[in-house]
Structure 1
Amino acid sequence: MSARIYQMPKNALQSGKARTSTWMLEFAPAEAKKPDPMTGWAGSGDTQEQVKLTFDSADAASAYCERNGIAYNIIKTPPKTLKIQAYADNFR
């Protein structure tokens, strides 16, 4: 069983930055999803895929994994870059 730890991204539909400081721990899927013959929905018997844990920091998430013997991979957040433009740049 392995897990990935990443920081929550900013919601693209909102201008606020709420809940972007939390870190998520998600387990990797143990088996592939298969379509149900009756409904056509995709599913699997893996219940760990539904578990998502939140932590205040990456260190807390990694400490949780080490305490419980879970292999983990921390995905670093890419640096934010701003493209500064002025309204006058439209007329150059």
Structure 2
Amino acid sequence: MSFIRCARTALAVRGAPLGQGRLLARGVSNESTPATKSAESSEIVAPAPPRDVMVAEAVSGAPEELRHRAVRIYQPTRNTMQSGAAKTERWRVDFDTMLSGGRWENPLMGWASSADYMQGTRVSFRSKEDAMHFAEKQGMFSTCVTQVRFLITVHTFQDGIIMCK
């Protein structure tokens, strides 16, 4: 139940006589008069004027270097090690690596290290539009990559023999 609905119910119960409070809270009345439409409800309501949408980058508190970062929006491919297609319907936002990411080779293990803490961050969304809206609202430059879906045709053993003749 939403907050507004709770507030309306509480105000309706508070204004009713003592015995009718529970009935009004449930939307039922004691009166036997039929409900009639009022003339006010048939009036056309004018739509609210459009407001300026505040982008989230202004109030998010994110560091300045993240605000105008390039991101890549894509749909991940199926894992080649398994036959399942799980997690391929979701859209993913990846942060591109920064050119000034401060890369170096770790002297102890020889691994490549980086000062870019966002390069390993991935965010998943249910649709492409949601991912693009997120990137736009955060003030990021987005590139959407769509993949070509190949239709896999099923061949039987007989098809291979017939083609060879």
TM over 0.5: yes
The aligned amino acid for 1:22 is R
Q: Shift in Å at residue 32 of structure 1?
A: 5.9
Q: Output aligned runs, 1:3-82, within 5 Å.
A: 3-30=71-98, 31=101, 33-82=103-152
The total of aligned residue pairs comes to 92
The aligned amino acid for 1:85 is H
Structure 2 Cα separation of the partners of residues 82 and 41 of structure 1: 39
Q: Shift in Å at residue 11 of structure 1?
A: 1.4
Q: Shift in Å at residue 91 of structure 1?
A: 2.2
TM-score by length of 1: 0.89
TM-score by length of 2: 0.52
Q: Which has the larger radius of gyration?
A: 2
Give unpaired runs (5+ residues) of structure 1. Answer: none
Structure 2 Cα separation of the partners of residues 78 and 12 of structure 1: 17
Greater fraction strand: 1
Two-structure CA RMSD over aligned residues (Å)? 1.5
SS class of match (1:53): strand
Give unpaired runs (5+ residues) of structure 2. Answer: 1-68
